Structure 1
């Protein structure tokens, strides 16, 4: 079985359910996926409130995690994927409810905007000993306008990119890889995922 933790970004909210449904095609061929939702527009609202000085770092952290949980219900709605609080590798499509999961143990996460849903997905992948796929609306990590096919997490520290700084710290410390793939065209995404880990049509961070 090939198992991955898959972070589905909020930028893909319009096609996210299609992605989930298509992942079932891979599960029939020996793949298992634990989906970690992004925060989407719900987390954007939290960030706006934080920038306005209306909430603290601590409150914003948990509000943003709750925003991820809202997205989890959207991903599960009508797709057949199961919502879970205690993840484990399985040949199935499951969606993590991050708030319930992290209430039990969120060690390894700072309560700051350096640690967003990317970092939560990276932490889950690290705990499960799995590689992570970040599904987003860009082709991968861009440096000076150029797509980078492979890069160490440490080389991205301090640089602005499509993945947060907390994720880089976690990936760099636990040995998991992160594959950054464009999910804007769901059928193309599935084809790219079938070629992992031998070939990545995006960026591999390790």
Structure 2
């Protein structure tokens, strides 16, 4: 019979891995893949460079784990949204606002996505698991759209992926273009009332689009 790791050791390993992912996310978002250094990540955590290699096999493995974890975060948030018995119009509004909130609260995620696109998806292409992780995003939208069409509330020429593109594009813009857009037009996306206005706006945009027959 094989001895099982003691529960406290398993907890310590889980905590160490979680801490490494958190700090690595910040470092990769700040410096990109090329600029990030494993020894810097080790210095910012309560572990060592050797442990990073133990858990992730090196810098590339750590970066891939960071990407996967970042995408998993938004998918998990979407799945916690209980809208099965909610009016479809209100459901789509809540989903749009939840996406907005998540992107604002996890700005490193947007920076990682931007960095990955600069590299033309060189690393995300190695994460086939993300295709499966991302599938619930459109499944949830499909369910809401179907219910909305059955009640004659939503137009029938818009697909779930179309809605996902509109919501994601708007929410990414708030982070990716915050400084350039803010400078050009004197807008502070971080100001409380402005953020509340922008949050309401994405809900109104999507609802208005879908309910226009």
Which structure has the highest helix share of the two?
2
Which structure has the highest strand share of the two?
1
- TM-score norm. by structure 1 comes to 0.25
- TM-score norm. by structure 2 comes to 0.25
